Chains A and B, each alone.
Chain A
Amino acid sequence: MKVSVFRREHFNAAHRLFNPAWDDATNEKIFGKCSLPHYHGHNYELEIKVTGEVDPQTGFVMDLKVLSELVAENVIGKFDHRNLNLDTDEFKHTNPTAENIAIAIYNILRPHIRSDHDLVIRLYETPRNFVEYPSS
């Protein structure tokens, strides 16, 4: 019987959206205020969903303390109180949209989660805008 378990974390980061292959006018047309040159920021809220069978020995799908430590070490430590464009390897050449951040977080965590467990990342850029990867 499969159950999904969730862990919520958060990180506060600066970013800007722009495509270096475009000129400033094109970036402003596509990304609007999100491409302003001195960055802006968000309190990102992160939900990690792990789905699997309940272990009969523990009653857990996954120990959520373990999941929290994994996320703290591999995600929050990299992104919290950082400038995503300037301070992270993941976004050196990738636009730090919420979509791309969710994909990056998935790729960071996937190797640390059992292969028979499904993993879904939901990332809130603001309380009103959020993304999910992989999409259902």
Chain B
Amino acid sequence: MVYLTRIEHFNAAHKLFNPAWTEAQNEAVFGKCANKNWHGHNYELYITVKGEPDPDTGLVYDVKKLSEIIKDHIIEKLDHRNLNEDVAFMKGKLCSTENLAIAIWNELGPHLPGGVLLHCIKLYETPRIYVEYFG
């Protein structure tokens, strides 16, 4: 089994806000991240797939094709967007990096060809904060 990773990035606004709570509760739990006018991040997205190298190509998967799939199904929907307002697959969800990583996994998985499995979504919210989701 070989693990292949492609790195992409997107710049987005978001806020951490539970609509079932008051503003005061949101601020108590999320602090500055609950700013009602949003804040933002340059997200760095590491997508790791796994498989056996094809004996004819030596590749687990053509990484150019992987990049196109990620761009079409993920980056286009997230880049320069407001995660709370603009992204259909985040509607009704709290826009934490954790939930975003899970949502990216769920969005991407169905578009990978057979024999190429998602292994990990690693998502940096900042250079110092990242999450990993292994499905």
Contact = CB atoms under 8 A, between A and B. Distances in A.
Interface stretch (A34-42, A47-55, A64-72): A34-42
Contact of A87 (B35, B85, B127): B35
Contacts, number: 77
B51 interface: no
A88 to B, nearest CB: 10
B41 A42 contact: yes
B123 to A, nearest CB: 13
B66 to A, nearest CB: 21
Nearest to A40: B80
Interface in A1-15: 10, 12-15
A39 B82 contact: yes
A83 interface: yes
Interface residues of A, number: 22
Interface string A17-50: 0000000000000000110101111110000000
A86 B41 CA distance: 17
A80 B38 CA distance: 11
B43 to A, nearest CB: 9
A12 B41 contact: yes
Contacts of B9: 126
B40 A14 contact: yes
Given A82-B37, A83-B38, A126-B11, 6 more contacts: A39-B13, A40-B40, A41-B41, A81-B35, A83-B35, A83-B37
Interface of B: 9, 11-14, 32-33, 35, 37-42, 79-82, 85-86, 126-127
